């Protein structure tokens, strides 16, 4: 698959054991040096990549970074620039981001700012990163005031989604990825939704055929949205935020400690589904299908003391809220969305109560 933007082509490859494509690409592009960013959970994958480069004459450096979301703290970025400088990365060097969305977002941000911008390649290893975060060029780090507040758009020159890496994922990382995959089915395509509904058990166990199919179909939706709205200004990419307004609020309230991103999005999609009914957009029959499907994906429960007031207050602070009004992506049906700016506090409260039932 290819992402085509501004007359440029950014290949996005998905498949099982396709790493050799990485070496081919690096050789073709004649990068001067290669810098691999990855964390300790990816030792095996890292070895595979190191072996790949061993025989080539390309200069190859490994930069170990910390695992998980804390890598995106803006403070943890500074020493990584230091490593690049120490190892003489230049404008013809390339950064490889091997890992989940945290590494992708951070490495992409570093690549876009180091020496005013060098190229980078995404090698996503979580399901979530393979179907969502690795594509689209949104890079970013977190400020203590909030997540992803500092960032750039910088497309990876290549993305390689090798499904061999998914074998070591835990059940929660898998559920989290399925959350984002479901988003594409629910918002864009009833047939894909049905496929996910029928194959959910296989997906939860990472069945290679079903999972590969779901990844490829998800990538196509993501590519299409990014191609029509690279900088997320036309409202096309807004659909990809389905479930995210509530999801982000839940993540913020629980300090990113309770939920994986996709798990929070699953809660957010439950909320958005109920809100769609409350606002009179979505027929109950379709809501029931979505509700029952989402309930089959294991997620941590909502905090027992979660107050709707706190959630709504947090949602308003989200960077997507403009003029203090939260714009919601809601559903008219499975596969059909509507943007709603007129949601009232009472609507929110009603949806919240329905979701908790």
Distances 286 to 48, 289, 292 between C-alpha atoms, Å: 45, 5, 10
Residues found near ligand NAD in the complex (CB under 6 A): 39, 41-42, 67-69, 72, 99-103, 105, 125-126, 128-129, 132-133, 136, 138, 148, 165, 168-169, 173, 176, 260-261
- Min dist CB 30 to ligand NAD, Å, is 28
Question: What gap in Å lies between CA 299 and CA 294, rounded to an integer?
Answer: 9
- Min dist CB 320 to ligand NAD, Å, is 14
Q: CA 47, 106, 45 angle in degrees (round to 5)?
A: 15
In the complex with ligand NAD, which residue's Cβ is closer, 58 or 67? 67
For the chain, the first-to-last Cα distance in angstroms comes to 42
- Min dist CB 230 to ligand NAD, Å, is 12
In the complex with ligand NAD, which residue's Cβ is closer, 102 or 278? 102
In the complex with ligand NAD, which residue's Cβ is closer, 39 or 274? 39
In the complex with ligand NAD, which residue's Cβ is closer, 65 or 278? 65
* Other beta carbons within 10 Å of 36: 23
In the complex with ligand NAD, which residue's Cβ is closer, 260 or 337? 260
- Between β-strands 138-143 and 94-99, what pairing exists: parallel, antiparallel or unpaired? unpaired
- Min dist CB 141 to ligand NAD, Å, is 9
Question: Phi and psi dihedrals of 151, rounded to 5?
Answer: -175, 180
Strand partners, 200: none
- Min dist CB 256 to ligand NAD, Å, is 8
In the complex with ligand NAD, which residue's Cβ is closer, 30 or 233? 233
CB burial string 289-305: b at 16+ within 10 A, e below: bbbebbeebebeebeee
- Min dist CB 287 to ligand NAD, Å, is 25
Contact 59, 33 (CB under 8 A): yes
């Amino acid at each position: 698959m290819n992402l085509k933007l501004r007359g440029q082509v950014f290949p996005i490859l998905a498949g099982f054991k396709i790493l050799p494509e990485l070496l081919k690409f690096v050789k073709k592009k004649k990068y001067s040096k290669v810098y691999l960013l990855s964390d300790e959970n990816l030792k095996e994958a890292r070895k595979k990549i190191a072996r790949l480069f061993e025989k080539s004459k390309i200069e190859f450096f490994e930069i170990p970074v910390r695992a998980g979301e804390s890598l995106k703290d803006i403070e943890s970025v500074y020493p990584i620039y230091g490593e690049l400088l120490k190892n003489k990365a230049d404008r013809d060097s390339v950064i490889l981001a091997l890992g989940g969305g945290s590494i992708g977002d951070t490495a992409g941000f570093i690549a876009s700012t180091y020496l005013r911008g060098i190229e980078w390649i995404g090698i996503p290893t979580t399901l979530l990163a393979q179907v969502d975060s690795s594509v689209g060029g949104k890079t970013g780090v977190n400020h203590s005031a909030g997540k992803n507040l500092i960032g750039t758009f910088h497309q990876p020159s290549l993305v390689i989604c090798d499904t061999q890496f998914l074998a070591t994922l835990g059940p929660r990382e898998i559920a989290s990825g399925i959350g984002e995959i479901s988003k594409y089915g629910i918002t864009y395509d009833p047939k894909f939704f049905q496929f996910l509904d029928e194959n959910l058990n296989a997906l939860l166990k990472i069945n290679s055929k079903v999972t590969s199919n779901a990844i490829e179909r998800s990538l196509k939706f993501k590519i299409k949205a990014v191609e029509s709205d690279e900088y997320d200004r036309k409202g096309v990419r807004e659909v990809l935020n389905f479930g995210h307004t509530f999801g982000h609020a839940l993540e913020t309230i629980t300090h990113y400690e309770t939920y994986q991103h996709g798990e929070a999005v699953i809660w957010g999609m439950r909320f958005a589904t109920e809100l769609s009914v409350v606002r009179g957009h979505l027929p109950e029959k379709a809501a029931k299908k979505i509700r029952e499907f989402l309930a089959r994906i294991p997620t941590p429960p909502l905090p027992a003391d979660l107050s709707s007031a706190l959630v709504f207050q947090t949602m308003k602070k989200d960077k997507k809220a403009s003029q203090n009004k939260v714009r919601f992506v809601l559903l008219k049906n499975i596969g059909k969305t509507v943007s709603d700016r007129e949601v009232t506090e009472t609507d929110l409260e009603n949806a919240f109560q329905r979701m908790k039932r």
